A and B are shown apart, each in its own frame.
Chain A
Amino acid sequence: MENQTFTISVYSENNVGLLNRISGIFLKRHINILSLNVSESEIENVSRFVIVVHTTEKWVHNIVGQIEKQIEVIKAFYHIDDETIFLENALFKIESGLLFDEKQIQNIIKESNSEIVTVSRDFFVISKSGRRSEIEELYKNLKPFGIMQFVRSGRISVSKEKMEISALLEELKNKQI
């Protein structure tokens, strides 16, 4: 079985320690997490993890089984890239003078569909959302001018198919009573 990129989505209770419990499942199998994002989900008090890994389908199946087994995990899914809409976000901090001295920077910003978030006397900040390759392209173009700081977020992703979480929660709630 070949390695490929999988996006794992985990719906869970919002509890201290769960991140540690989930990351431990990858650690135990010596699998590197390529990116990790935790946020609120569409359901109140339910967190959503988006985890990107590069591994085989057998392993990702196994891992998702182990994640779902954790007491505070409601449901976990995995998808390949074609099954999701996904992007990352990046911030570039650049010296302000360059904006005026290097005309080309303005073109690079325009062509990359990124936006300037703030401009101060000393620096300005560009924000770029998109696929990894688009962010890397922008990075490559800005690099010769000097980047003061660069940061890229983990992948966030929504699936094309439905993830029936609300219905599942409703069902579980009824079951208990």
Chain B
Amino acid sequence: MKTNKISGAEAVIRCLLEEGVDLVYGYPGGAIMPVYDELYKFKDQLHHVLVRHEQGATHAAQGFARATGKVGVAIATSGPGATNLVTGIADAQIDSTPMVCITGQVGKHLLGSDAFQETDIIGISTPVTKWNYQITEASEIPEIMAKAFYIARSGRPGPVLVDITKNAQFDELEFSYKKCTGIRSYIPKPSLNLDRVKEAAELINSAKKPFIVFGQGIILGQAEAELKAFVEKSGIPAAWTILGLSALPTDHELNVGMLGMHGNYAPNVLTNECDVLIALGMRFDDRVTGNLATYAKQAKVIHFEIDPAEIDKNVKTTVAVLADVKESISALLPLIESKKHESWHNEFKELYKIELEAVINDELKPKKEGISMGETIEMINKHSKGDAIMVSDVGQHQMFTCRYAKFNSTKSNVTSGGLGTMGFALPAAIGAKMGMPDREVVAIIGDGGFQMTIQELGTIFQTKVPVKIVVLNNEFLGMVRQWQQLFFDKRYASTEMINPNFIAIAEGYYIKAKKVTKREDLDAAVAEMMASKESYFLEVMVEKENNVFPMIPTGASVSDIRLS
């Protein structure tokens, strides 16, 4: 009888291929060496990108997942390799990013013996994974890997970690692969209750001042077309959370901007004026709601959501439509009356004018000598024409990117929303570009965050991935400095950065680099960067003490948003 026996390590690779994976990010080490040996043999079918630190592998996998909608894969060894994944896993968990992490582990007979590079990564990763599992027998590999991919991508997506002991990688198994199609204790998509959709439609049709707030659920649920159709038919103004950004084109006439702490003035103020608040695939994060006690109390709230645990978690709903958002909006669409809501729209326009004069004009056409972050983003818009994927790090530059970047198509805004992970953007941009090689990918990073994962310049150099890197350098940890200025009497504790020569560093990695210090040089420099076929590093020296406004101070109501 012909047998089909292969090693556990080969089985891991075959499972990845069965799941359609052709690109993984990782870093080798002792306990994962059998898998790397197989990666060598399969290098024609499965491309492995050697990052410079395991955290970079997770963020690259996240960037890949966010730009493509596919599952990102990161591989690391046991012990420090595994613990270095944790930040990226936590980031993927809170931002619902589909990712499978594979870690090596010491042999089964050594578990619990404090062996070299042994760490309880299952225990450590439990609170920040959607699911995790330790494989100790080679025969478990196909079924567990199939479950891992199914769980990571289905329902509300999230990260899964599979820890594989070294003996399970060496031992042989009879290999056969069957994709996972269901787990009895897991309901990825609750079935849609049409009565709830009818109730929602009645509320929407009778509303005088309805308001749509949408989040990343639209992108994860591939419901961009449904959202657009709903917005256009109902004539309802729509605002977005930062992870919902790009699900609706930024120039759409019914797109009224960004919600939350540094969002636009009108959508925040009018959250507390609307009569029906329609939340689509968003979770009422505290950065969006401000003080919950004064959040949209006058409104009836309709929540379209896939995750039952999000219903009534932060905001009490009048009608909860629990289902996949693509299905539920499709069911809602024929029940909605076609309307214009002109006077309601005018309220948004009036408030926009106030923000334009108080904030936006100064930011995009500054009178100060120093370059502003906003005008840099606007310059990138000019050259990208809204077609680039923008990958932002965390801080002031992130808020400026989300506020001012233009997007024509979905899955174009990649940023660390929930966890706020500095150091995210550089490796995430690598993943986004490798996932979408035909699109322009621009990373926008502060001088602080850049130095948290600066080593990934090595990955860019080695792989020649043509990402564009813009560091907005204000020689401060700008967002913390802003808070120190506003709430801590300008005591700038440990926020001033004495920076190295970034250009020399980029050039040390053989990456084309340019530094801009004057406004008149910005246009040409951005043009040169965008035209480059290779990776390009652009450092822009920006005004040191600019602040991001508008701003909802912590604990304040959305309608108490400050313009200065």
Using a CB–CB distance below 8 Å, which chain A residues touch chain B? 12-13, 16-17, 20-21, 24, 27-28, 61-62, 65-66, 68-69, 71-74, 169, 172-173, 175-176
When distances are taken between beta carbons in the complex, the residues of chain B under 8 Å from A169 are 184
B309, A13: Cβ atoms closer than 8 Å:
no
| Closest chain A residue to B310, Cβ basis | A65
Known: A20-B126, A74-B184. A69 touches B308 (CB 8 A): yes
Binds A, one of B24-32, B127-135, B417-425: B127-135
B186, A65: Cβ atoms closer than 8 Å:
no
A69, B127: Cβ atoms closer than 8 Å:
no
Is B181 part of the binding interface, using a Cβ–Cβ cutoff of 8 Å?
A: yes
| Closest chain A residue to B128, Cβ basis | A24
B185, A72: Cβ atoms closer than 8 Å:
yes
A-B contact pairs, 19 of them (CB 8 A): A17-B122, A17-B132, A20-B123, A21-B126, A24-B126, A62-B309, A62-B313, A65-B310, A65-B313, A68-B309, A69-B307, A69-B308, A71-B185, A71-B186, A72-B131, A72-B186, A73-B185, A173-B184, A176-B182
When distances are taken between beta carbons in the complex, the residues of chain A under 8 Å from B310 are 65
When distances are taken between beta carbons in the complex, the residues of chain A under 8 Å from B498 are none
Taking the closest CB of chain A, its distance from the CB of B119, in whole angstroms, is 15
Known: A173-B184, A175-B182. A65 touches B127 (CB 8 A): no
In whole angstroms, how far apart are the Cα atoms of A13 and B131 in the complex?
A: 13
Is B312 part of the binding interface, using a Cβ–Cβ cutoff of 8 Å?
A: yes
For window 146-201 of B, CB contacts with A under 8 Å fall at 151, 181-187
Using a CB–CB distance below 8 Å, which chain B residues touch chain A? 122-123, 126-127, 130-134, 151, 181-187, 307-313
In whole angstroms, how far apart are the Cα atoms of A73 and B126 in the complex?
A: 14
B185, A74: Cβ atoms closer than 8 Å:
yes
In whole angstroms, how far apart are the Cα atoms of A99 and B132 in the complex?
A: 53
B130, A71: Cβ atoms closer than 8 Å:
yes
Cβ 8 A contact of B185, one of A13, A16, A21, A175: A13
A61, B185: Cβ atoms closer than 8 Å:
no
Known: A24-B127, A71-B130, A71-B151. A65 touches B308 (CB 8 A): yes
| Closest chain B residue to A12, Cβ basis | B185
| Closest chain A residue to B308, Cβ basis | A65
Taking the closest CB of chain A, its distance from the CB of B131, in whole angstroms, is 5
Taking the closest CB of chain B, its distance from the CB of A27, in whole angstroms, is 8
Known: A61-B312, A69-B308, A71-B151. A176 touches B123 (CB 8 A): no
**7 additional contacts (CB under 8 A) given A12-B185, A71-B185, A169-B184:** A13-B185, A16-B134, A17-B126, A17-B132, A65-B311, A71-B131, A172-B187
When distances are taken between beta carbons in the complex, the residues of chain A under 8 Å from B187 are 172
When distances are taken between beta carbons in the complex, the residues of chain B under 8 Å from A74 are 184-185
When distances are taken between beta carbons in the complex, the residues of chain B under 8 Å from A69 are 307-309
In whole angstroms, how far apart are the Cα atoms of A33 and B312 in the complex?
A: 23
| Closest chain A residue to B314, Cβ basis | A62
Looking at B151, B184, B185, B307, the one whose CB has the most chain A CB atoms below 10 A away is: B185
Looking at A17, A68, A173, the one whose CB has the most chain B CB atoms below 10 A away is: A17
In whole angstroms, how far apart are the Cα atoms of A164 and B549 in the complex?
A: 53
In whole angstroms, how far apart are the Cα atoms of A128 and B374 in the complex?
A: 72
Taking the closest CB of chain A, its distance from the CB of B120, in whole angstroms, is 10
B184, A68: Cβ atoms closer than 8 Å:
no
